[in-house]
Structure 1
């Protein structure tokens, strides 16, 4: 699956393996952590709030 990993991710993984997570965060900054947090926030909002709302809304209107 190495061919499916983007180049920048390979660099980040090597940096984490070589220097550790603290050094990775020191070099790349907290933007990485914020980006991951926002990604999961949006993904989970769609998955657990929006999709069930649309399903229930459609079922209620079909009566």
Structure 2
């Protein structure tokens, strides 16, 4: 998903149509999952286990919040 597609998906979240908003959320969630998995796969190719990556970086939350 490129920047334009991400922007359209983000804008669709606020759409009044009850079928459009959730679809936008699903697209953004899928893209977020994909974007988060890419660095993990890269480090695994370097010989670092996925578990070690998640142990080191998994507890970090943006803006200091909790999930």
TM class by shorter chain equals 0.3 to 0.5
More helix by share: 1
Normalised to the residue count of structure 2, the TM-score between the two structures is 0.41
Normalised to the residue count of structure 1, the TM-score between the two structures is 0.43
Q: Which has the higher contact order (CA 8 A, sep 6+)?
A: 2
